Amino acid sequence: MAKKKERTPRRIERDTYPRPEHRFRDAKIGMTWKDSEPDSPGFQRAPPGAPNIVLVLLDDVGYAWPSSYGGLVRMPTSERLAKEGLTYCQFHTTALCAPTRAALLTGRNHHSTSFGVVGEMATGYPGYSGVLSRSCATIAELLAPNGYATGWWGKNHSTPLNQASAAGPFTHWPTRRGFDYFYGFLGGGTDQFYPALYRNTTPVNPTGTPEQGYQLTRDLANDCIAWMRAQKAIAPERPFFVHFAPAAAHGPHQPPLDWRGRNAGRFDMGWDHYREVVYQRQLELGVIAPGTRLTPRPKELPAWDRFDAEAQALLRLQAENYADYLEHCDHEVGRLVHVLEELGEFENTLFIYILGDNGSSAEGSLTGTLNESASMQGIEPPIEASLARMGEWGLPGTTPHYAVGWAWAGDTPFQWMKQVASHFGGTRNGMIVSWPAWIADKGQKRFQFHHVIDVVPTLLEAVGIREPVSVDGVPQKPIEGVSMAYTFDRANAEAKSTRTTQYFEMLGNRALYHDGWTACCRHGRLPWVTRGSASFDEDTWELYHLDEDFSQSEDLAARYPKKLRELQDLFLLEAAKYDVFPLDDRFAERADVTLRPGFFVGRRRLTLYPGMVRLPESSGPKLANVDHAITLHARLPEGHAEGVLVCLGGDTAGWSLFVEDGRMRYHYNWFGFERFDVLSGAALPGGEAELRMEFTCETPGIPGGPAVVRLLCNGTVVGEGRIARQVPGYFGLGETLDVGEDTLSPVWPGYRDRLPFRFNGSIDRVEFELGEAAPRSMSELLEEQLHQD
């Protein structure tokens, strides 16, 4: 353990990784071992005094939810670390999850890493490919060759989703980007009760059911704790780097069943009054500057008093459920702290607790939703549909998200929320840093302006590692962040920030910070609207003097037009420098899988085999709004046949072709709001059989339209029915295609208690035939373009 007087670990002077191979320079080679002296390679050791590092990143948590920042969500772990460390009050993210994560792990701006937007919306431009650039090494790729054990738990969202299947390639999975170990999920979100988990590169199933107490955050903490204990038991002198990135509090908002109801009544005041209450608490805590003004509610948001008592009861429940979810997450982070103390490692652990990767999320519609995937695709059932199912909110089978008003409340005192990079409601997040062996100025606040790209250079300085010029033979882009380590010293409590300039851009919303001023413009589409584009030429820019206006409350653009123009011009320079162009404000339109390459793109016929499970929807064949037929060559048991033949999706939405009581059944789940069934008229015969499902869209080319389904056995039609509506785009975040079973959440709730509901016969193969609406290959598109020309 490092002593407090050891302020500056020895720096390793090394410009390239990996290290040169051990050359046995000190060995003496004789004719036999008796007249020789060995020189064993040994282990690479970290610099003397190098700390353990625990980097925690929460998800979709705004500045004003945690109690450590004046919020009403009780987070004692964050409060404890704040008392023992430093609370940062002007720390910023990118306004969206995957871009923030790419910036956090590399120390480069999100566009520089090719993550200008989430990978689900990637496009073929340098700043937007969704493939984490090899020229931007992760912090793990720098720590591992310098003696650190490295592990990652929870959300990834940096592996291209078209590379997330069993076919890989695995070059951009965590275990190929510097991490010895990974346990988590790959996409932007996942069900907390039925998560799409991977251990390293192997899909694994949850270790229990919700009724047995299983919930993802708890599972991640259990696994991380076991790993930390093992590391120190085996190699006690070796420091570790833990990246703990739970899904909380990203939707779906699903606290463990034993944590439900702990916040009943806490949010009865509604979102307007919540902001007023929390604003006063923030002033008292000192996490906002004296004289900060509370910004008003946007005209596009409804006032709390607009809703009747019944609707308010539902809206209160949404905030209570979210608070249960977030409080439990903080509890699990606290367990990591406790195990560090148990191991005697807390004193020399640099613990960074980042309370959100962007502002609070507005992706749940104006009245909230029981199904966030529906909301993300523009499906907003009337509030009466949610009122009828209030008792189910947050339980297995629902994937809820709170109303937009709560997102705005969670970003007090600022304007706007997640996605809106122009304003601090989208980009300012809490960050708490604890390092007892180094930080003596305990319990204090820091107001220097910093950004998520500043974390990596801070870690490098703390450990004593120099920025490399080459990693694995790839020349490295310079790290674009600056170290925050100077703020650890009491003497620098009021020091001027070492970050003088920072651009922001997300989905067309943009801003430029420079020397205490910021110019910004919120562009076009509102963050809870899923489609639409607007002219960039018609944007209105605002100007704020942050040294005097902490919350961006007074627009000075009309008073200081020259200053505004100066910052606008600087934005253009920064944007060109960091691959921000071309600006793109499309949202749901960019989620079209045909915009990105994939193994199934252009294939009209394909065959899957038994045992093929957990094929991510994003990596598999596109079947929504596409004519298709599925033929199974199977053997049915004599008597009682049952089980899933093939399925795609789960609680969020999906379809399942299965056998129940000997009858073939096709079930289509439309976001849990409507369900459609087609059944065979009689039980299927035992023995060899060809089972077929034919799906024909009634309105080709119109997403979400109706379809007709026919079921056939050995060439004879045994059932027919109509699907009144389809999902417009995709079935759900994290859901998968499975052959012979349903591995995650159930498409049909009737077999939830029998999951994975494996087919009790045998399947030889499953053949898919896709119609003309299926995604075309690049060669087909080029051929079409040639004929048009």
Q: What is the pLDDT of residues 242-252, one digit of tens each?
A: 999 999 999 99
Looking at residue 2, its pLDDT comes to: 39
Whether residue 10 is predicted with pLDDT greater than 60 in this model: the reply is no
Q: What is the pLDDT of residue 6?
A: 47
> Does residue 4 surpass a pLDDT of 50?
no
Is the predicted pLDDT of residue 786 greater than 60, yes or no? Answer: no
What CATH number does residue 566 fall under? 3.30.1120.10
389 falls within a domain: yes
**CATH classification at residue 287:** 3.40.720.10
Q: Write the Ramachandran bin of 516: left for phi over 0, alpha for psi from -120 to 50, otherwise beta.
A: left
Secondary structure letter of residue 401 according to DSSP? B
Residues 585 and 641 in one domain: no
Residue 643 lies in a domain: yes
| Of 303 and 593, the one with more pLDDT | 303
Residue 446 has pLDDT above 60, yes or no: yes
Q: In this model, does residue 397 exceed pLDDT 80?
A: yes
Q: Report pLDDT digits (tens) over 103-144.
A: 999 999 999 999 999 999 999 999 999 999 999 999 999 999
Mean pLDDT calculated for residue range 576-584: 97
- Which of 468, 495, 522 is a domain's end point? 495
Whether residue 550 sits in one domain with residue 404 = no
Percent of the chain exceeding pLDDT 70 equals: 96
Greatest alpha-carbon span in the chain: 93
Give yes or no for a contact between 662 and 683, defined as CB atoms under 8 angstroms apart.
Answer: yes
Do 343 and 469 lie in one domain? The reply is yes
Where is the domain boundary, 547, 565, 591? 591
Residue 465 shares a structural domain with residue 552? no
Residue 390 and residue 486 in one domain:
yes
Confidence of residue 41 (pLDDT cuts 50, 70, 90): confident
Q: Express as a percent the part of the chain with pLDDT over 90.
A: 86
CA distance 707 to 227: 49
Coil/strand/helix, residue 364 = coil
State the pLDDT at residue 322: 99
Average pLDDT over residues 654-670: 97
Other CB atoms within a 10 A radius of the CB of residue 407 amount to 27
- Calculate helix-pair angle for 309-342, 76-84, nearest 10 degrees: 50
**512/542 Cα distance (integer angstroms):** 11
561 and 661 share one domain: no
214, 208 contact by CB (below 8 A): yes
Q: Cβ(178)–Cβ(137) under 8 Å?
A: yes
DSSP of 455-512, one letter per residue? HHHHHHHHHTBPPPSEETTEEPPPP-----GGGGSGGGTTPPPS--EEEEEETTEEEE
**What total number of domains does the chain contain?**
3
Mean pLDDT of 571-580: 98
DSSP state of 536: G
CB count within 10 Å of CB 473 equals 9
Confirm whether 711 is domain-assigned.
yes
Decide which of 178 and 588 is more confident: 178
Handedness of CA 731, 735, 737, 741 (dihedral sign): negative
- 2 within a domain of the structure (yes/no): no
18: in domain? no
- Considering the domain architecture, whether residues 173 and 115 belong to the same structural domain is answered as yes
SS3 state at 330: helix
Residues 600 and 586 in one domain: no
* pLDDT number for residue 1: 34
Domain that holds residue 176: 52-495
Placement of tokens 């290959």 in the chain: 777
Q: How far apart are the first and last CA of the chain?
A: 70
Beta bridge partners of 17: 471
Angstrom distances, CA of residue 393 to CA of 27, 183, 321, 339: 68, 28, 8, 33
DSSP letter at 296? P
- Given a cut of 60, is residue 7 above it in pLDDT? no
**Quick one: 700 and 679 in the same domain?**
yes
What is the C-alpha to C-alpha distance for residues 122 and 421, in angstroms, rounded to an integer?
18
Residues 437 and 585 in one domain: no
In DSSP terms, which residues pair with 660 in a beta bridge?
663
pLDDT at 586: 92
Q: How many CA atoms lie within 13 A of 231 on its CB side?
A: 24
Q: 715: phi > 0 → left, psi -120 to 50 → alpha, else beta; which?
A: left
**pLDDT at position 13:** 58
pTM above 0.85, yes or no: yes
Residue 493 pLDDT exceeds 60: yes
What are the tens digits of pLDDT across the range 401-411?
A: 999 999 999 99
Q: Residue 460 above 90 pLDDT?
A: yes
Whether 195 and 246 share a structural domain: yes
Query: Is the preceding peptide bond at 597 cis, omega within 30 degrees of 0?
Result: no
Q: What is the 3-state secondary structure (H, E, C) of 109-163?
A: CCCCCCCCCCHHHCCCCCCCCCCCCCCCCCHHHHHHHHCCEEEEEEECCCCCHHH
Count of CB atoms within 10 A of residue 280's CB?
A: 12
For the cut 60, the answer to whether the pLDDT of residue 777 exceeds it is: no
Q: Are 146 and 176 in contact (CB under 8 A)?
A: no
CA pair distance 114, 129, nearest whole angstrom: 5
Residue 156 within any structural domain of the chain: yes
Where residue 665 sits, what CATH number does that domain have? 2.60.120.200
620 inside domain? yes
CB count within 10 Å of CB 539 equals 16
Task: Please provide the average confidence, as pLDDT, over all residues in the chain.
Answer: 94
Nearest-angstrom CA–CA distance, 490 and 497: 14
Task: Report whether pLDDT(519) > 60.
Answer: yes
Predicted local distance difference test score (pLDDT) of residue 452: 99
User: Over the stretch 600-611, which tens digit does the pLDDT of each residue have?
Assistant: 887 889 999 999
Indicate the residue type of 458. Answer: T
Query: Is the pLDDT higher at 784 or at 213?
Result: 213
Look at residue 5 in the predicted model and tell me its pLDDT. Answer: 41
Q: With the C-alpha atoms ordered 603, 605, 610, 615, is the resulting torsion angle positive or negative?
A: positive
The pLDDT value given to residue 3: 40
For 145-166, how does the pLDDT look when each residue is reduced to its tens digit (9 = 90+)?
Answer: 999 999 999 999 999 988 988 8
560, 591, 622 — which closes off a domain? 591
* In a shared domain, residues 539 and 437: no
